[in-house]
Amino acid sequence: MPWETIELNDGNKIPSIAFGTWTLGNGQAPIDQVEQAISVGFSHVDTAQSYRNEEEAGKAVRESGLAREDIFITTKYSGTNGLDIQTSITNSLKNLGVSYVDLYLIHHPSLAVPDIPTAWRQLEELKEKGLAKSIGVSNFGVIELRTLLASAKVKPAANQILLHPYVYVRQAPIIAFAKAKGIAIEAYSALIPLTHRPGGPVDAPVNKIAKNKNVAPEQVLLAWVKAKGAIAVTTSSKKDRLERYLDAGNLGKEFL
């Protein structure tokens, strides 16, 4: 597969592209879309408590026929309904229909209550119990990561952040800090320059590269994410786009 697995700092391995359920909503549609993503080759499903479609994602995973060890599941503690971390992961596991998740993230530093060290210790306990193979964070900046690491017994395996060309300068210090500490970076919303901010300065170089390489613009942006050493978290309801997303892993980094 063009998107290789990456070894995390705890020795576990993670597929370097994930199908995200953030925007999928509820009901049959997300079930069908997760099933479709798995059918074309995605082996990493990323969901969250606040997305309210863990149950649908879990059903799609089970209906795929894949063995549990052949699918990587990420979900997140989102503080939904004021539930604590232990209750939240118990509910998430029930919704997903699994006995463990591969990666469990604190969705945002503001959710680390009463403070980051205390919340992180609770995640370490989940890992000790085997409820999450790896633990990490999302949307943490350098200051929050420093606070966490100061008392952590287990380093976060990953930090999932917004990452696309228009925010790269802002996010670069987080990426550099994570690399120095052995923390994997996951990138969400990498396609925003195309989907939500068309007509910006990125369009011209992306379209030029796409034309020269005979690929789609979205493939160029996903290859850019890979070239930055990040794990891509992306989504689409269209099968052909998902296939292009996977093919983007074949693009070299030398032109990015």
Query: Structure tokens of 252?
Result: 């070299």
- Note whether 14 and 8 are within 8 A (CB): yes
Task: Report yes or no: 106 and 75 within 8 Å, Cβ to Cβ.
Answer: no
DSSP structural state of residue 183: P
Whole-number Å distance between alpha carbons of 165 and 160: 16
For the chain, state the CA radius of gyration: 18
Q: Give the Cα separation of 122 and 112 in Å (integer).
A: 10
> Of these residues, 51, 77, 188, 245, which one is catalytic?
51
d(Cα 18, Cα 47) in Å, to the nearest integer? Answer: 10
Query: Residue 47 in contact with residue 53, Cβ under 8 Å?
Result: yes
Q: Give residue 130's identity as a one-letter amino acid code.
A: G
| Residues paired with residue 20 on neighbouring β-strands, in sequence order | 46
Is 107 annotated to bind ligand?
A: yes
Q: Is 104 in the active site?
A: no
Structure tokens at 163: 């990452």
What is the number of alpha carbons within 13 Å of residue 128 lying toward its C-beta? 9
Distance between CA 234 and CA 256 in Å, rounded? 19
Q: Which residue has the tokens 């998430």?
A: 92
**In this structure, are strands 13-15 and 5-7 parallel, antiparallel, or unpaired?**
antiparallel
Q: Which residues line the annotated binding site for substrate?
A: 107
Q: Which residues line the annotated binding site?
A: 107
User: Looking at the annotation, which residues are catalytic?
Assistant: 51
